[in-house]
Amino acid sequence: MLRCRPALVSLPVRLIARPCSTASKYAGARKFQPMAKSKKQKAANAIPESVLSLPAHASALELAADQEPAPVIDTHTHLLSTYGWYKSKYKDDAACQTIWDFVRTMCMPPASDVEADAAKQRTRRHKVTSMVDVWCEPASWLNWREIADSAVEGSPQKADWGGCEYWFAMGVHPHEAKHYDDKVEGQILEAMKHPRSVSWGEIGLDYHYSFSEHDVQQRVFRRQLQLAVSLEKPITIHTREAEEDTERIMKEVIPRDWKIHIHCFTDSPDFAERLLDHFPNLYIGITGVVTYTSNLNTSEILRRLAKSATSSETGKPLRILLETDAPYMTPSNIYPSLPELGAKNPRLPLCHPGMIPWTAEFVSNVVKDFQSLSTDAVLRASAANAAHMYSV
């Protein structure tokens, strides 16, 4: 369990200091993640937290002084888990004493580069203008309202977000399906009434590990889909190694024109194409996992999307949503931008929304044979899709 002093944040220690255990289980279990206690992870213990306050991405430095970099929208993140990881790493020495400090420091460009490090050019960083924070485990829902209320217009804490708009989704992850009951359902229904709620999710099927039995997952997935549709809520879906059942249930329950975000898609490209063909308002979530050499599916999906968009008479844009799934999925192509890590190349201890430009850069390179899209063009396309999907 991660620990930090309750006095450091205004929320209960068990909410902030303990990342969502579901998220820990399902992300830790992904085949794309390094093994626990690896040498690279141990090397991360030596990384100063200032490294997490990233330099400007190269695409931002190429712009004229009067041009603003494209907005960054993280469409799927676990903010409290990310802050919990950060606090467990840097403990009492952490510069960010609240989650709001963390968002301003990591996600927004500073007014001036106080470290006087010209190479970093932090003042030219892309701004994370919005994020969708995903609450996926009932045990972590004790104080979701305090975070959400702080982002409401007129809240005394609204300014603490530093200009980043906070939105959230709530649902029961397939690993936690065995805990779904009337009480949990009531909590979600109550959360869906909140003005910062934009989606029911993440929900779905995950057959890679059987944390919940498959029949239980299917029953809970179907129930949550039915409720989301009845409330006219967009849906955020997690699916892994459950293509046939996921597709069958989605097509049985969800209307064709529904707004759907398939989060962190890593299953087969054929499966993605079938969903995209059937649901015209469905988007494929792209995380930093696209940059991993062990994952070929996501890049192939992008190539097919780009080819389809190029051949279309209407010139339809890429149907993708950029996301982090933070604190997991650090883009592997970020490290050349961090020479201060040295020759031993230690791994960063966590991912955060400010890293999305590097994922966008990778997407730009993947699709270049079919579409000439700069990093900023990819960011703007995703932002437009996020506005359509979540109205953020």
Residue 284 burial by Cβ neighbours in a 10 Å radius (0-12, 13-18, 19+): buried
> Would strands 260-262 and 282-286 be described as parallel, antiparallel, or unpaired?
parallel
Among candidates 49, 50, 58, which has minimal Cα distance to 119? 58
User: In the chain, which stretches have pLDDT less than 50?
Assistant: 1-37, 43-44, 116
Give residue 295's domain range. 71-106+121-390
Residue 225 CB contacts under 8 Å (≥ 6 apart), including other chains = 203, 235, 249, 250, 253, 254
Q: What is the DSSP string of 298-347?
A: HHHHHHHHHHHHHH-TT-PPP-EEE---TTS---GGGGGG-GGG-TT-PP
pTM, two decimal places: 0.89
The pLDDT value recorded for residue 24 is: 41
> Is there a domain that residue 184 lies in?
yes
Strand arrangement, sheet containing 72-77: 72-77, 128-135, 165-170, 197-206, 235-240, 260-262, 282-286, 320-322
Q: What is the pLDDT of residue 26?
A: 38
Strand-pair partners of 169: 134, 199
Q: Which residue has the tokens 């529904």?
A: 258
Residue 218 lies in a domain: yes
Q: Read off the CATH number of the domain in which 351 is found.
A: 3.20.20.140
Return d(Cα 210, Cα 227) in angstroms, integer: 24
**CA distance linking residue 104 with residue 99, whole number of Å:** 9
- The predicted pLDDT at position 3 comes to 26
Look at residue 28 in the predicted model and tell me its pLDDT: 38
CA distance 152 to 167: 9
pLDDT of residue 34: 38
CA distances from 124 to 49, 117, 170 (A): 20, 13, 33
pLDDT of residue 244: 98
Q: Within a domain: residue 225?
A: yes
Number of domains in the chain: 1
Residue 37: its pLDDT value, please? Answer: 46
pLDDT of residue 110: 83
Contact 20, 136 (CB under 8 A): yes
The answer to whether residue 24 is domain-embedded is no
102, part of any domain? yes
Tokens standing for residue 233? 């809520």
Specify if 52 maps to a domain: no
Phi and psi at residue 203, to the nearest 5°: -135, 165
Tell whether the torsion through CA atoms of 16, 216, 188 and 160 is positive or negative: positive
Q: Enter the tokens of residue 344.
A: 């031993």
Closest residue by Cα to residue 203 from 231, 232, 182, 180: 180
For residue range 315-366, list pLDDT tens digits in order.
Answer: 568 999 999 999 999 999 999 999 888 767 689 999 999 999 999 999 999 9
Residue 238 near residue 202 (C-beta atoms within 8 A): yes
Q: What is the model's pLDDT at position 117? A: 54
Pairing label, strands 128-135, 197-206: unpaired
Enter the tokens of residue 82: 């990310």
